[in-house]
Amino acid sequence: MKKTLTIAGSDSSGCAGIQADIKTMGALGVFGMSVIAAVTSQNTLGVTYIEELSTKSIITQIEAIYDDLAPDALKSGMLFSKDIIEAVADILKARNKSPYVLDPVMVATSGAKLLKDDAISYMVEKLFPLAYIVTPNIPEAELLSGMKIECQEHVDKACRKIKDMGAQNVIIKGGHFNDKESVDTLFDGENHYEISAVRVITKNTHGTGCTYSSAICSYLALGFNLLDAVKYAKQYITSAIIYGAEMNIGSGSGPVNH
């Protein structure tokens, strides 16, 4: 059985973070493992508290995994602070040989900050060069590229800028645009590929980014090439949003349905 690892934050509501990652990996038939970097106290209405784990805990969690059951692919999500990013970067650089999907999680669906301001440039400097693919949404891509993104031409330009920061591949997720289709743009350094799906109107989008990057990670672990992994992951997240659109879980932004 193929093994995948998520290094991310816990979401007590079960909608996003580590919990969404593990649900996705299980649904896609890979063995999901987790390194918890921070614990959020959270429901569908918002985040009330964040506690980061010690770097010793994070380093020993990652070492325990690489000493015994190294992943076939891995992803990172909420890493929260400079210290955590440095610890993760050092150990991945030394030990990881598998495709690494970096979801540059910055802000929760509810608006809470999941990455400290002073950690953003650090994430770019230390982790982007280790990443096989970086998966920003539009607000994250705007912050990273320093440009306003309002049309496809802007998306293509931002892809280039983010790729130039050191990642091997970039996908900018178009979910935050308000078109009928949700179009994501994958850039591999040579070509731009547009991957589209129907836009589903629902309040249940809490954890969509986590689910998508975990699905890409799972399909890479299963041996698919990048373009196919992204296409299948897009189908998975779109189905999960459709099947979760009418669910009543909490009174705020609820989860997708795995």
Does the annotation mark 217 as catalytic? Answer: no
Q: Which residue has the tokens 């040989």?
A: 97
Q: Which residues in 127-244 belong to E strands, given as ranges?
A: 133-134, 169-172, 181-187, 192-198
Residue from 141, 210, 229, 241 that binds ligand PLP (CB under 6 A)? 210
96 binds ligand PLP (CB under 6 A): no
40 binds ligand PLP (CB under 6 A): yes
Residue from 4, 43, 208, 218 that binds ligand PLP (CB under 6 A)? 208
**Torsion (CA) 11, 242, 220, 168 in degrees, nearest 10:** -80
35 binds ligand PLP (CB under 6 A): no
Q: How far is the CB of 94 from ligand PLP (least distance, A)?
A: 25
Does the annotation mark 211 as catalytic? Answer: no
108 binds ligand PLP (CB under 6 A): yes
- 17, 209, 244, 254: the catalytic one is 209
Both tokens of 199, joined, read: 């836009």
- 208, 238, 244, 254: the catalytic one is 208
Both tokens of 55, joined, read: 């770097």
> In this structure, what DSSP letter does residue 53 have?
P
Q: How far apart are CA 26 and CA 218, in angstroms?
A: 9
Query: Which residue is closest to ligand PLP by CB?
Result: 17
Does the annotation mark 205 as catalytic? Answer: yes
Residue from 8, 226, 241, 256 that binds ligand PLP (CB under 6 A)? 8
H or E stretch covering 76: strand 73-76
Does the annotation mark 6 as catalytic? Answer: no
Secondary structure of residue 22 in the 3-state scheme: helix
42 binds ligand PLP (CB under 6 A): yes
Q: How far apart are CA 161 and CA 153, in angstroms?
A: 13
Residue from 7, 9, 221, 255 that binds ligand PLP (CB under 6 A)? 9
Helices (H), 150-249: 152-163, 208-221, 226-244
- 4, 6, 40, 205: the catalytic one is 205
What residues make contact with ligand PLP under the rule CB under 6 A? 8-9, 11, 16-17, 40, 42, 77-78, 105, 108-109, 114, 206-210
